[in-house]
Amino acid sequence: MVDPFDDVTIRTATPDDARSIARVHVASWREAYAGIIPDDYLSSLDVDAREQRWKDILADPTWQTWIAEFARRTVGFASLGPSRDEDAEPGDLELYAIYLDPEAWGRGVARDLMRTLLREVPLKTPVSLWVLADNERARHFYRRHGFAPDGVEKIEEYSGTSLTEVRYRRA
């Protein structure tokens, strides 16, 4: 049987994609982080607010964002740009986000997005990302793509709950 998600197109995002990215962002957070991030925080996520944030991001020339489309509907996105870490060297990059509509999970869309953005990374350029320590699904995905924890962690607060984030790097 042929998976319809085999016909996914990946392209560079434009400001016109802000709404569809925001929709995927909120849906993905609510599903991926259920049981990890407090429910009240997840239920407070707002597509309109995210849309405005994505309009700003997509206007920033230092960020590169790609979207995955299926049947002319956005089913995922990924963003890459300069590392924001205090210990980053000039030229180091950071994977800021890679999220899918939950219906696209397990269909190879995230793999295709990751391969697309990694092709844009200059040879031997380190790339970092932050992942919630309790998000085993994501951690496994990143390991499969050559990322590994580098021993750096930080605490983020969500609705008064402290959660550990782990930095992964790929050189």
Give residue 7's pLDDT band: very low, low, confident or very high (50, 70, 90).
Answer: confident
Q: CA dihedral defined by 167, 64, 15, 22, rounded to 10 degrees?
A: -20
Q: Specify if 113 maps to a domain.
A: yes
CATH of the domain at 110: 3.40.630.30
Q: How confident is the model at residue 37, as a pLDDT?
A: 97
User: Is the sign of the CA dihedral 10, 121, 110, 25 positive or negative?
Assistant: negative
Let me know if residue 115 belongs to a domain.
yes
Average pLDDT over the chain, rounded to an integer: 95
Phi, psi angles (nearest 5°) of residue 126: -65, 140
Encode pLDDT of 81-134 as tens digits.
999 999 999 999 999 999 999 999 999 999 999 999 999 999 999 999 999 999
Question: Residue 162 domain-assigned?
Answer: no
Count of domains observed in the chain: 1
Establish if 149 belongs to a structural domain: no
Q: Which domain, by its residues, includes 65?
A: 4-123
Q: How confident is the model at residue 171 (pLDDT cuts 50, 70, 90)?
A: confident
Handedness of CA 69, 141, 116, 154 (dihedral sign): positive
